[in-house]
Structure formats: C-alpha cells, structure tokens
Amino acid sequence: MKRKLFFIRLLCFGFTVVFAECFCSCTKQEKTLRFAIASDFHAPDVPDGEKRVASFIKAAKDAKVDFIIELGDFCRLDSPSQVYRELWDSFEEDKYHVIGNHDMDKYTPEEYVGGMKMPGRYYSFDQGDFHFIILDGNNLYDGKEYRHYARANYYVDAKMRAFIDPEQMVWLKKDLAATDKKCVLFSHQSIDLCLNNGAAVRQILEEENIRAGFKKVVLAFSGHNHSNYTKVINGVTYMQINSASYVWIEQPSMTEKRYPKEINEKYSLLEYSITYDKPLYAIVTLTEEGADVKGTKANFVPPTPQDLNMGDSIGSYPLVSVIEDATIKF
C-alpha cells in the first residue's frame, strides 16, 4: 500500500513539474514580440523595386511578425509608386513608416505624412512590453532657425542637414518619461553617427535611463547610409540597417557592365550605385532579455567594389552587401 501511494505521489509530482514547465514556456512565448524591418528601398529608382518590396512582405508574413517598419526612402506618392504602396498595405497586421531625406525630394512633410497615412512626422506606439519611438531627423539648421526638408531644399552644406528640431527634442523627453516600458527607437539618419545633433539626442536617452533607474532605452535602429554595423554607446545599442537595394558609392560604378543601356537610361542613380542581387531586410525578435536579429545576405551585382579597387568602407561606414545577425542583450 505504501509503495502504491509512493508511485501515485511520484506521478503527481511529475505532472506538476511538466505542467509548470509548459505554463512557463507558454508565458514566455506570450512576451515575445517580432517585427520585420527594412530601409532605403528606393523602390521606383531600381529596376526590380517591386520584387524587392514583395520579397520583404512575403518574408514578414512567413515569419508571422507582429508589425513591419521601413526606415525611410521607400517610394513616392505618384501613380507609378502605387504598386509599392499596395504591396505594403497587403500586410494585414500593423505597419509603420519613417520619413527619409529622399522622401522629401518632391513633397512637403505634410504631404508625405498624409499620403503615407502616418500619424505624424514623429510619433510613438506600444506593442507588447515595448514602447517604440519614430524620430524625424530631416531638418535643416543654419545656426539661426530650423526648417524641415521640403521639395529637395536640403542639398546644402552637410553641416546644415540632419537635425532633430527643438520641438521634437522636448516631445522625446516627455514621451520617454511617460512610459515604464523598455524603449526601441527608429530613425532614418543614425543617432550615433549621422545626425548633426546626435550627441544631444543620445544625452536625452542616457539621462532617461538614469532617471528611470533601469536600462529603459535599449536599442536604436537607423538606415540612410546603406551600410550595416552594430555598436554600443553608454549602454544603448545602435544598429544600422542596410539598404534593401543598393549602395551609393559616389563614383562611376561601371553600370554599363551591370545593366543594358535601356535600364541605365531609365534608372539614372545606377551610374553611381552598386545593386545587391537580393533584397536585404531583418526579422527582429524581442524579449525581456534582449533582441535577436536575423539578417539577410546578398552579393554585389558585378562589377563589385573589389573590381572597382575600392576599400572595405565608405568613410565611417562598412561597404557590405549584408545585414548581419546580431544577439543584443538588454
């Protein structure tokens, strides 16, 4: 009888352990958030822009992500770009845009925000256990006043471009203070290298972490430079998301060997660019412990940078045709 009772208790204990493990596993899964991220499609300006956007949307659907986001320089508001906007809208879950500098080549910020159905030029939202912040670095500053990019007015001295305006800075402080969730930022221009007042923005992020008493601002994604790297500055991780389409090399790219004459005549930026043979994007999984970034790899469509006797970087930015995987601890 005692032996029978022992086995019954043992079975009950085993069931309890298994149930507890399953419960913990399910609870942990509920706290997982996944999104797909891409940047700088320049969809109307490359020969296979439609295919690249479609590949990204398919990957997002296959990964069953909670939302998608692109970091600017996506497409225009005209009729030829309708196909890219429709592909984007075919994703049935939440979707978000960031304003890029080239999005301001033909439009005012009000026109672009309205046309892309954005809540504003900068804004924030919550998903799961995280707070997400979209910044707008497309502002000029001449030492006296701030003006937003509009209708290609930003082709001026680089020292006058890429600023977060004072109004937005005040909003950022208030927005950060108003949440108790961990925060992830998205911007077109990088906070760590490209924004001319990036140091002031980083100070806001770092001061909020001190004020909150925990690692609250954990991660910031950016695009614009058509490159890829991950770095940590004072506890905040900054990750550059490569272009989905190409790298601009600021010199003739021997595109006549890459594409036929009619393609090069139709897509003028190819003269100074090297395209990737596959679209680049990443799937990001967030948990309380950190972020798991699964990137994609492509090849340069030849002639490659090596064929052109280029180095492995353009200025401070790695010259690569990949988005590397990354494991980021919070």
Count the Cβ atoms, other than its own, within 10 Å of residue 199. 11
Question: Which pLDDT belongs to residue 113?
Answer: 98
Question: Which pLDDT belongs to residue 127?
Answer: 97
Question: Which pLDDT belongs to residue 179?
Answer: 98
Give CA separation, 244 vs 1, 68, 208, 275, in Å. Answer: 70, 14, 33, 9
Question: Which pLDDT belongs to residue 2?
Answer: 42
CATH number of 32-329: 3.60.21.10
Question: Which pLDDT belongs to residue 31?
Answer: 86
Residues 6+ apart with CB under 8 A from 123: 134
Question: Which pLDDT belongs to residue 15?
Answer: 41
In angstroms, rounded to a whole number, what is the distance separating the alpha carbons of residues 196 and 200? 9
Question: Which pLDDT belongs to residue 69?
Answer: 99
Q: Give the helix ranges, DSSP H, for 116-236.
A: 166-177, 198-212
pLDDT tens per residue across span 141-182: 999 999 999 999 999 999 999 999 999 999 999 999 999 999
For every residue of 203-239, DSSP letters joined together read: HHHHHHHHHHTS--EEEEEE-SSS--EEEEETTEEEE
Sequence spans of domains, the chain? 32-329
Question: Which pLDDT belongs to residue 137?
Answer: 98
Find tokens 């949307």 and name the residue: 57
Residues of the chain with pLDDT under 70: 1-30
Question: Which pLDDT belongs to residue 161?
Answer: 98
Residues 6+ apart with CB under 8 A from 273: 246, 247, 248, 249, 253, 255
Question: Which pLDDT belongs to residue 229?
Answer: 98
79's tokens: 């009729």
Residue 252: cis peptide before it, omega within 30 degrees of 0: no
Question: Which pLDDT belongs to residue 10?
Answer: 39
Residues 6+ apart with CB under 8 A from 208: 173, 176, 177, 183, 216, 217
